[in-house]
Amino acid sequence: MRLSREQSREETRRKLLASASELFAERGVNGTSIEQIAERAGYTRGAFYGNFDGKHELVVALLTRRTERAREELAEMCGRATSSEHLTSLLHAWHRDHAEHQESWLALRLELLLYALRNPEIRPLLAQRELFARDAITEGVRRELVRRDAGPPADPKLLSMIVHALEDGLLVQRLLTPDDVDDRTATDAVTLLLDSWAALDTRKKD
């Protein structure tokens, strides 16, 4: 099967981006040369510079694609879920997918975070991804609280941000002390938060 010219162009960009995310996870953004990226994708440096202005534009493209992908996946999950349990199980499956490649996934996340830390202009791009994740959590939490007859949370954005931060922080702790964190720890901790939040809401209503 032959590819048309513009199909081929898209294909090249796609391969280069895939190769770059692998290498960024393995060796870091700064530790990866353009040559290595091109080589793993099956091209030469010339092809790279024909498709990207340089490493910076590549990172921005990578970030954009990741954000867009997360948006689609999460929105699709929220739409597909028929019940609270279904949605939470979907969200957990999503997390578990990441957990499979755990270390390299965490590595890429940290690399991109550091990149955003040093290039403030692209922070909104990364922040957007967090917001999508939090939104999905908001939806899951909302349904869960309703199921418990606890009513909708008082401040859903804040709660989902906290839940998200907790899950994220646990990934790091798991890397450093794997014995202290297992798959259940995250769900247990989140349940704990929800219990407390529900109680708080009840109290407020009184």
CB under 7 A: which stretch of 33-41, 84-92, 117-125, 153-161 binds DNA? 33-41
Is 40 a binding residue for DNA by CB under 7 A? The answer is: no
CB under 8 A: which stretch of 56-64, 90-98, 143-151, 164-172 binds a copy of itself? 164-172
Is 169 a binding residue for a copy of itself by CB under 8 A? The answer is: yes
Pick what 36 binds: a copy of itself, DNA, none; C-beta below 5 to 8 Å, kind-dependent: DNA
The one among 28, 40, 47, 130 contacting DNA by CB under 7 A: 47
Full DSSP string of the chain:
----HHHHHHHHHHHHHHHHHHHHHHH-STT--HHHHHHHHT--HHHHHHH-SSHHHHHHHHHHHHHHHHHHHHHHHHHH--SHHHHHHHHHHHHHHHHHTHHHHHHHHHHHHHHHHH-GGGHHHHHHHHHHHHHHHHHHHHHHHHHTT--S-SSHHHHHHHHHHHHHHHHHHHHH-GGG--HHHHHHHHHHHHHHHHHHHHHHH-
CB under 7 A: which stretch of 43-51, 75-83, 109-117, 126-134 binds DNA? 43-51
Closer CB to DNA, residue 12 or residue 138?
A: 12
Is 8 a binding residue for DNA by CB under 7 A? The answer is: yes
Pick what 60 binds: DNA, a copy of itself, none; C-beta below 5 to 8 Å, kind-dependent: none
Is 110 a binding residue for a copy of itself by CB under 8 A? The answer is: yes
